[in-house]
């Protein structure tokens, strides 16, 4: 059974997919077999009669275990907005139990590690009662936090880390992703994260 690692971010567009692909490639270099999941993706384009998401296609390609797209990204929503809102426009209701069931099926693959990429940040809603963070809790998955290095990231990172640990899942580590826009006092902010986040820094990604 594959061991899951859940990748979340301090916000949307902070580089979760970049980190997911990097982790998958590193694990492959270490001789580990991998599979990958992006259970919920909003912002999909129609290809060959089905909606597909570029982030999901990237992690599908980076994994060593070949899975059909429908397993990698079982919920593909057209509109690029919060998943629960995108689902409302398609007259769909997202349910944690269904998403968890699909993920558990993939985790039965003969792979060492399964990288599960979230959508948006830790508390992104699925419906009026459930959030995607509950998937990581249900799977008892350690979490990798991607910090988009920009003004306000210290607060976002610390609050997200607190929420992860309060939910009862381990924070396996964090990655500082230097975004395209230059951040003043970048090194000092990264050092502040080193001092305050209760998990190891797994890497710093340059612009």
Q: What is the CATH number of the domain that holds 172?
A: 3.40.50.300
Query: How confident is the model over 127-148, as pLDDT tens digits?
Result: 999 999 999 999 999 999 999 9
pLDDT value, residue 48: 77
Query: How confident is the model over 42-63, as pLDDT tens digits?
Result: 999 998 789 999 999 999 999 9
- Cα separation, 104 vs 33, whole angstroms: 17
pLDDT value, residue 60: 98
pLDDT value, residue 193: 98
Catalytic residue among 26, 38, 110, 140: 38
Query: How confident is the model over 76-95, as pLDDT tens digits?
Result: 999 999 999 999 999 999 99
Say if CB 53 and CB 69 are below 8 A apart.
Answer: no
Q: Are strands 113-121 and 143-149 parallel, antiparallel or unpaired?
A: unpaired
The mean pLDDT of the chain is: 96
Structural domain tally of the chain? 1
Query: What does the block give as tokens for 76?
Result: 């593909």
Query: What's the average model confidence in pLDDT over 3-31?
Result: 97
State which residues form the domain around 81: 3-205
Least confident of 17-31, 40-54, 123-137, 162-176: 40-54
pLDDT value, residue 33: 98
pLDDT value, residue 117: 98
pLDDT value, residue 92: 96
Nearest to 7 by CA among 87, 121, 100: 121
Task: Label each residue of the chain as H, E or C.
Answer: CCEEEEEEECCCCCCHHHHHHHHHHHHHHCCCCEEEECCEEECCEEECCEEECHHHHHHHHHCCCCCCHHHHCCEEECCCCCHHHHHHHCCCCCCHHHHHHHHHHHHCCCCCEEEEEEEEECCCECCCCCECHHHHHHHCCCEEEEEEECCCHHHHHHHHHHHHHHCCCCEEEEEEEECCCCCCCHHHHHHHHHHHCCCCEEEEECC
Give pTM, 2 decimals: 0.96
Told to judge if 38 belongs to the known catalytic residues of this protein, a careful annotator would answer yes
Query: How confident is the model over 112-121, as pLDDT tens digits?
Result: 999 999 999 9
CA 41 to chain centroid, in Å, comes to 10
């Amino acid at each position: 059974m594959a061991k899951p690692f859940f990748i979340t971010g301090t916000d949307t567009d902070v580089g979760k997919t970049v980190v997911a692909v990097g982790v998958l490639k590193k694990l492959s270099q270490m001789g580990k077999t991998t599979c990958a999941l992006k259970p919920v993706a909003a912002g999909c384009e129609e290809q060959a009669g089905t909606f597909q998401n570029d982030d999901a296609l990237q992690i599908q390609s980076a994994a060593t275990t070949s899975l059909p797209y429908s397993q990698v990204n079982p919920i593909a929503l057209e509109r690029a907005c919060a998943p629960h809102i995108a689902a409302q426009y398609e007259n769909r209701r997202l349910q944690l139990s269904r998403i968890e069931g699909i993920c558990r099926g993939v985790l039965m693959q003969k792979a060492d590690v399964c990288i599960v990429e979230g959508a948006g940040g830790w508390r992104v809603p699925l419906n009026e009662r459930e959030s995607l963070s509950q998937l990581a809790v249900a799977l008892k998955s350690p979490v990798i936090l991607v910090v988009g290095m920009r003004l306000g990231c210290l607060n976002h990172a610390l609050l997200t880390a607190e929420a992860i640990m309060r939910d009862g899942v381990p924070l396996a580590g964090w990655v500082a992703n230097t975004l395209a826009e230059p951040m003043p006092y970048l090194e000092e902010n990264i050092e502040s994260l080193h001092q305050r986040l209760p998990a190891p820094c797994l890497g710093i990604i340059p612009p």
